[in-house]
Structure 1
Amino acid sequence: MLRYVLNEADVAAVRFGISPLCELGLSLRAIRDPSRYPLQLPWLARTERARSGLDLAALTALVDERLWTPDFLNPRPESPLTRIEDELDALSGLSAAEFRRDLVAVHGHVPAAFAGPARAAVRRLVRALRELWDATFEPHWPRMRAVLEADVVHRGRQIAQSGLSAMLNGISSTVDYADGVVSVRLRDPTDRTQRIGGSGLTLVPTMFTRRGSAPVGDGPPMIMYPARGQGALWETERVANPDAVAAVLGQPRARLLAALGEPASSTELGVRFDVTTSAVNQHLRVLRDAGLVTSTRYGRSVLYLRSELGSRLLSPFG
C-alpha cells in the first residue's frame, strides 16, 4: 500500500499530465504479456511487424516478470502538453547513478543489455525508445492523445460537478481518497507513506495500465490510472440512428451527435466511424453552428461535446 498524505495546499494543487514517455515505457508491459492488456491487442497486432526490427534486447530489459518498469521511464509530466522529444532529451541526460539505481530497483541488478559504461548504455536506451516510438506510436499518437485528453476533460468536469474526492475515488478501483490521504493498493508488498508537503500530486491517464499504479521509488508524487474510452479506440463504431433525427440531420450527423455524449476529437471520431477526419470536421462544423455540439481547444486538439440542446434532441429516442 502506498499512501500520499496531502495538506490543504496539496489538495488545491492536484493536477493532470500526459506523458508520451510514460506511455512508451508502460507499453512494454503489454508487449511482454499481451494477455493482460486485451484492450490493446489491436495495437499489438498492428505494430507486430514494426517491432520485429527494433532493439528488443534493450527494450525487454526494461520490464521484469512482475511487469515493473524503471522509474526513469515514468517522468512526472508538467502539463498535458508534454512532447516526446522533450522527454527523450531529458532522458539523455540521466545520470549514471540514477540509471543504475532504477534498474536495480526493478531487477535487483543491471541487465546484461545495459552492462558496461553507463553513458553508452543510456544512449542505447534512448535510441531503442526512439525507434519504438517512431515505429509503433507516432502513427497512432493523435488517436491515443485524443483519448487521454478526453479523459482529463472528463475528470475536470467531475471535480467541478462533484468535487475532488469523488473524482479521486473514481479513477481506479485500487485508488481511495479520504481525510487528505490518497491510498493506492499496489502489487508491491512494501507499505509506504509519503507526505507530499507542497510538491503536488500529478494524475496521469494511460492506455497501458489496468489499475492505479505509482513509481517504484520515492520520486515525485504521481498516480497513473487507466484512461476511459480505450475500448473504442481501435474499433469503428456502429451507432443505431433514431430515424426521426436522422431524417432531419442526415445519418452521418445523427451518428456523430449520438456519439458525443463524452468529449472526443475529430481524429478519434474518424477512427471510430471509419471515415476521414476532414469529413468529420465538415459535419461537426454544421452541428456546432446549429448549437447541437460545443467545442473546446485542449492542447493541440479540439474536443467536441454534445450540447444540452443536442441532448434534448436525442432524449426522446435514447
Structure 2
Amino acid sequence: MSVNLTNNTCSEIVWTQRFLVSSIVYALVLAVGLPVNAVSLWVLLRRHGLRSPSAVLMINLAASDMLLALSLPLRVYFYATLRWPFGTGMCTAAVMMFRINIRTSCIFITLISLDRLLALVFPLRSRSLRTSGFASKFCGLVWILITILCIQESIIYSRALNKSLCGSNIFCFEVQVEGSEPVAIGQASFFLILLVINIISTVMVICALRKRPSVDAAKVNNKMSVILIFVVNMMVFIVFILPFSLQLMMVTLKNEELEYKTGREVLRALICLASVNCCLDPLIYYFSLDSFWQDKSKSQGYATTHSLSKSMERS
C-alpha cells in the first residue's frame, strides 16, 4: 500500500480502497471548499475590506484556505489514477501548499479567537492594539516565517522525490520524508499551545457573556453567534489539526518497522481528514461579522442597535 524508498528501490503501488476513499474525500472537499472560500474571500474583500482587525484576519484565513483548495485537484488526480506526470516541482509545491495552510490557518484561527476575546472582555484597553494596521503587519510576519520554514522543507522533499523515481513515475503524495524529532515535537507542542489559548479564550468569553443580561431575542442571537465562533475554532483544532500533528510526532519517534508502517497509514488518513478544515472556516466569517453579505457602511445603522456585535467589530 505504500512506496518502499529504502536503498532507493522502487515498488509498485497496489490499488487499495484507501486510494479510492482519498480521491473521493479530496474531490468532495474541492467541490465544497473552493467555491465557498472563493465567495467568502470575494465578500470579505468587496464588502468589508481591511477596515477592521477581524476582517484582516479573516481575509488571511480565507487566502490560506484557498491555497489548500487550489492544490486539491492534483491530489484528486493522483489518487484516482496513481500517476503523476507533472514533475517533482509541481508535487513539491502541492505538498508545501498543504503545510502552509495547516500552519497559517491554525495561527489565524487563534488570532481571531484572541481578537474576539479582547473586543468582548477588554473593549477599551484593547483599542490601541486592535487596529487593522497592526493585524496586517502581524499577518504578513506569519506568512513570511511560515514560507521560510516551508522553503527549507521543499528542498528536502524535492530531493526525496528524485530518489524515489520509478522510471518516469513519481509517487508524489505517497512519499513520506523522515523529519527530525525536535521539529516534529516542536510542531506538535506549538499546536497544543494554540489549542490551550483557544480553550482559555472560549472559557473567558463564555463567562463574560453569562454576566451580560439579555433583554431581547436579538442580543441572545448575538451571544450565540459569538459562542459558535469559538465552537468552530475548537472543532477545527481538535478534530482536524491536532490528530494529524500528534500522529506525525508519533511516527517520527517510532522505531519498530510494523508500528512504523501502521503509523504511516494512519498519518495519510489524517492528512486527508485535515484538508476538510477549509470547508468549516467560512462559518467563522459568517458568525463573526455582522451582516456578512452587506456592505459594512450600509449596515452601521443596524449594528448600533446591537451593542455586543458593535463592540466586537470596533477597531
Q: Is the structural similarity TM-score above 0.5?
A: no
The structure with the greater share of residues assigned to helix is 2
TM-score after normalising by structure 2:
0.30
Q: Which one has the bigger strand percentage?
A: 1
TM-score, normalisation: structure 1: 0.30
- Of structures 1 and 2, the one scoring higher in RCO (CA 8 A, sep 6+) is 2
